[in-house]
Amino acid sequence: MELNTEGAISPALLALQFAVRLPVIVVLVVGLSLLMLRRAALAGRGGGLAVSGCVVMLVAVALGILWSASFPALAAADFSANQIGIASTVVNGVITVLDAIGLGLLIAGLVVLARHLTAQRQAQPGKQVSVE
């Protein structure tokens, strides 16, 4: 595999970064698909929060792929190791914040759904309530 150091993002490195993150991408895309299919049963706001969480985490994954694939271009642009290290810390910080926001949105969606189901059960004491 040839890595491009001519100042552009290497397609080979981009493909490799995508392959490394593929398990997370698959889980997020499948989760997002399931949430979209079940949107009507997910108590409105709870489903919206969960979908938003998946989307935010997909953005974080995409940013991580692009950032990692850009290293050869940064090296070719004569950035110092210190400058690349500082930029890497900032970008990784942004990715971490996006991951935390996405996870928080998913958790908030579950909490809203749980409250909705609890309220339904209390309103109809003898009836089983499900999310099917």
Taking the C-alpha atoms of residue 74 and residue 87, their distance in angstroms, rounded to an integer, is 10
pTM comes to: 0.80
Closest CA to 14 of 88, 89, 70: 70
- Residue 30: burial class (beta carbons within 10 Å; 0-12, 13-18, 19+): exposed
Question: What are the tens digits of pLDDT across the range 11-42?
Answer: 888 899 999 999 999 999 999 999 888 877 77
Better-scored residue on pLDDT, 97 or 12 = 97
pLDDT of residue 3: 47
Nearest Cα residue to 66 out of 7, 18, 123: 18
